[in-house]
Structure 1
């Protein structure tokens, strides 16, 4: 009986956004696969209305909803399994850390903008190479690849030094996984599989840009939904700078390029500039930090993330406890003592300390 209750308990404890995303992904993908498989074996081809769910660059202007619906459709069973194994548990983790509203914003921003960039790229390719049948009507975009990469970037932000084991024998640090995924995307695009693998590259860039400059946070590093603090925008720490996605050999010239781009983006008000709240909250540190501060800064961010998660769970537990508290008598007298003793003991969540790490970052 315990084995049967475990999946149900997991489902019931899943936050609402992740739960809705998982159900929609499962129903849309299995429905698409079933209809496509049945029609192919009876009529020899898939029905045209299935294309109303996928994003075709040439038909997008007539089916604008596909820029969103294509995210929850995985035409292959392997893509669906990959999304259920990685995307859903990752969303479950971050929704508990960020909250419902921020999770919805993260999903929509990383997927819709990535799909939009792919549309622009395909139109440019069609104009240059003159093959609209391929680039506009033969390359559908679908799936959660952009969201997967953005989630890897988010893990890199909070636990960059954490080591994971892949396939039982490959060990890698979390901060290496996004670029490994981008490398796979480059290889697949070179051999002609641009759709949907190029979404990985846009998901990496959009996810990093949003977390770096636009995501609303509080001074202690937690989301505003979870804690109260000074309002800041993004993570300006040195370990999350753009140059750290690349080998140290190119940090110098690439740093000058990114600094030039950032200065002009601030001048054009495309990204917010540094504020005093950034410095007070530790989310921004000017350039020039030593290498010894990198690990300390990573541990600081990990501690802040754990603290935010513990505090959110403590708040939920407190609200549940207050809702189940018995009413007091109207005459003001205390209730009669119960002869039944309770053996349950409530534990107070341990507050994680946040080590501070020095360091300075660039855009």
Structure 2
């Protein structure tokens, strides 16, 4: 009879370091907040309060570690560590920590500025002292954006009932945030929208990719399938395309985004590294092999066996040559996770906006 044993030390040691540190910080700051709340103390030095956080600048980052209710903490511990573990093994600890810090801090800074603008315009003190930003909603949407980049066609099952593709989840969460803000719950749901925008810009232009191509590191993912316009329905692609192109040109003119080996306008991109990309390459090779077999089967069959043998010997290189040509001129490769959508007989899709 097999004996199942669980060693907590081995389980913790198996968690990558950045994920382990982030999870520990979340538990520590949340428990500290609970203790202070039960003791009757406020904690403006732990959460982001627009009217007082200017004196506690570290709260722009550390407020994300504070979950003010047990339900929020439980949900975070069930979702975030597993997601960060996957991303850390794909990106590495350094890039994951950069992604976390940028997504959380930039989203909180934007929310802080918005509250001050609302106070100046409306003169309502509630925007300065009646709202506190906390929790990991910005990071949650950031993780969904990262998954949409890496495994967009992967299907997930929610609560054993609902099924959805990963690429549909970020905008569903943003839509939920919009509804909550409209009915009066700006804090903390507005940071979902800011987290979506910040995480997308970081992954699109600034995230460092190493070890894939010669000539040094590449930044971001400039593929057409990750363009800004792909987040929106076709009905509004026109104005979104103009807005994205204009913003990109201005950012490039003022050198606000790092330059890569290739540019978006030339059809180049910085590919997504890691095992998912290797899987996409494998599927692409299988598609090219199927195309090669199709071209070989379409060659004419001569009457005599001798000529048939010669014809087969000549047609195979021709098919291989055609396959090689298609592989060289097929345009930018799709990022990892979308290889299932490769149509060996189809044509390349049109360019999408940034």
TM-score interval (norm. to shorter)? 0.7 to 0.9
Q: Does 1:55 align with 2:78?
A: no
Distance 1:261 1:54 in 2: 33
Relative to structure 1, the CA distance from residue 269 to residue 119 in structure 2 (aligned partners, 3 Å threshold; closer, same or farther) is same
> Does residue 214 of structure 1 match 2:206?
yes
Superposition pairs of residues 107-118 of structure 1, within 5 angstroms: 107-118=100-111
**Compared CA separation, residues 219 and 53, structure 1 to 2 (3 A):** same
Q: Does structure 1 retain, via aligned residues, the 8 Å contact 2:153–2:167?
A: yes
Contact 1:241-1:361 within 8 A present in 2 as well: yes
1:353 aligns with 2:347: no
Residues in 2 aligned to 1:89 and 1:248: alpha-carbon distance in whole angstroms = 34
| Aligned equivalent of 2:62 | 69
Higher CA-based Rg? 2
Distance in 1, matches of 2:154 and 2:280, equals 21
Q: Deviations over 1:167-206 (max 9, x none)?
A: 2111111011111111111111112211111111111000
Who is 1:327 aligned against?
none
Aligned to 1:232: 218
Q: Deviations over 1:121-160 (max 9, x none)?
A: 000000111112x001111111111011111000000111
In structure 1, the gaps of 5 or more residues are 40-45, 222-227, 285-299, 311-349
Aligned residue runs from structure 1 range 179-190, under 5 A: 179-190=171-182
* 2:254 is the counterpart of 1:268: yes
CA RMSD in angstroms, aligned pairs only: 2.6
Which of 125, 129, 139 matches 1:137? 129
- Residue aligning to 1:173: 165
Work out whether residues 151 and 276 of structure 2, in 8 Å CA contact, stay in contact via their aligned partners in 1: no
Deviation at 1:230, TM superposition (A): 3.9
- Alignment partner of 1:257 is 2:260: no
- Within 5 Å, give how 1:94-113 maps onto structure 2: 94-113=87-106
Q: Equivalents in 1 of 2:207, 2:283: separation in Å?
A: 21
TM-score normalized with structure 2 length: 0.75
Deviation at 1:273, TM superposition (A): 4.6
How far 1:12 moved relative to its partner? 1.3
Matching residue of 1:241: 227
Q: What is the deviation of 1:23?
A: 0.9
Distance 2:159 2:265 in 1: 41
Q: Which sits farther off after the overlay, 53-62 or 251-260? A: 251-260
User: Is 1:146 aligned with 2:115?
Assistant: no
Query: Aligned equivalents of 2:143 and 2:132: distance in 1?
Result: 23
2:290 corresponds in structure 1 to none
Task: Give the TM-score of the pair, scaled to structure 1.
Answer: 0.73
Q: How many residues align?
A: 290
Displacement of 1:260 after TM fit?
Answer: 1.3
